[in-house]
Amino acid sequence: MEVIITKNYDEMSKKAAQIIANQIQKKPDTVLGLATGSTPLGTYQELIRLNREEGLDFSKVTTFNLDEYLGLSPLHKESYNYFMWENLFKHININPENVYIPKGDVQDAEEFCRCYEEKIKEVGGIDLQLLGIGSDGHIAFNEPGSSLMSRTRVKTLDEQTIKDNARFFTKEEEVPRFAITMGVGTILEAKKILLIANGEKKADACAQFIEGPVTSQITASALQLHQHVTVVLDEGAASKLKRIKYYNWIRNNKHLVQKYLGR
């Protein structure tokens, strides 16, 4: 796991966008896994800028979103479908046919989840998966206690997540109790993973998933089992890590790391 500590949210966002842009430049028909929430907003803004000002081409890119509230129609203002179109897709040259987001108003959720997994396989799997992290250590909506082998399915949201996400709704009671989410097992099959986090409210979750044991109580800790994970944090989110000096040394000596490890 490569841990990159940046000064602030802006630097975190630009670094994350650069990693995504490099991936698209290397493989124009990249399959991206995308996330919602406050954390990736700056990353999406920078990707929009790269698309408009520097010609970053999304025309062959395919995307799969991690999750969606169950019970919200795709047009609902708090649906993740609406979020993605407002904050990224409508501003870039992506082909709408290549955009996949779980449907919150689907009739047969179980069948939908099975097809979603199949579709990911059909396009050859996810090349780069972008993740945020919940203050309870979740990735996507894989709440504490989720199986680390789990697949796309319906999940009951944790009380902490409902509290955290209430800020987007007029009252806490309006936050849906269920969601469709990719499983931890689904996420671990992505070829590369990029997790971003900012602010001190994420510091405990980050210390636990990076330096603590692998446990279903902090589902992000399952990323320790993956071979290619990059974590980009701001100083607040990194503030409870014990090995900051080590991570910074690696970042500041990239030329040596490249020379000896070839990456």
Interface segment toward ligand PGA; rule CB under 6 A; list 15-23, 35-43, 46-54, 143-151:
35-43
Smallest separation, CB 54 to ligand PGA (Å):
26
Verify binding: residue 134, ligand PGA, rule CB under 6 A. Answer: yes
Kindly state the smallest distance separating residue 38's Cβ from ligand PGA, in Å. 4
Check residue 249 and report its DSSP letter.
Answer: H
* 42 forms part of the interface with ligand PGA (CB under 6 A): no
Rounded CA-CA distance 12/43 in Å is 8
CA distance 223 to 160: 21
Q: Which stretch binds ligand PGA (CB under 6 A): 3-11, 127-135, 178-186, 208-216?
A: 127-135
Query: Considering only 21-29, 71-79, 95-103, 131-139, which stretch makes contact with ligand PGA by CB under 6 A?
Result: 131-139
DSSP β-ladder status, 229-234 and 99-100:
unpaired
- Could you say which DSSP state residue 16 is in? H
| Terminal-residue alpha carbon distance, the chain | 12
Instruction: Pick the closer one to ligand PGA by CB: 13 or 39.
Output: 39
- Of these, 2, 10, 18, 38, which contacts ligand PGA (CB under 6 A)? 38
Q: Does 133 bind ligand PGA (CB under 6 A)?
A: yes
Contacts 24+ apart (CB under 8 A), 76-85: 76/104, 78/168, 78/169, 79/104, 80/36, 80/104, 83/36, 84/34, 84/36
CB of 132 to ligand PGA, least distance (A): 3
Ranges of beta strands (E only) in 38-89 are: 62-65, 67-69
State the nearest-atom distance from the C-beta of 133 to ligand PGA, in Å. Answer: 6
Catalytic center residues: 67, 136, 138, 143
Residue 13: half-sphere exposure toward Cβ, Cα within 13 Å:
17
Alpha-helical (H) ranges within 55-171 are 80-87, 109-122, 159-165
Of residues 33, 37, 42, 137, which one binds ligand PGA by CB under 6 A?
37
Q: Is 236 in the site for ligand PGA (CB under 6 A)?
A: no
Angle formed at CA 97 by CA 84 and CA 90, multiple of 5 degrees: 35
SS3 99: strand
Of 262, 204, 261, the residue nearest 238 (C-alpha): 204
Question: Does residue 43 touch ligand PGA according to CB under 6 A?
Answer: no
Q: Are residues 152 and 185 in contact, defined by beta-carbon separation less than 8 angstroms?
A: no
**Residue choice 13, 39, 81, 208 for contact with ligand PGA (CB under 6 A):** 39
Q: Which stretch binds ligand PGA (CB under 6 A): 7-15, 36-44, 203-211, 254-262?
A: 36-44
Residue count, binding to ligand PGA (CB under 6 A): 6
Residue among 109 and 195 whose Cβ is closer to ligand PGA: 195
What minimum distance in Å lies between the beta carbon of 115 and ligand PGA? 24
Q: Given the rule CB under 6 A, which residues bind ligand PGA?
A: 37-39, 132-134
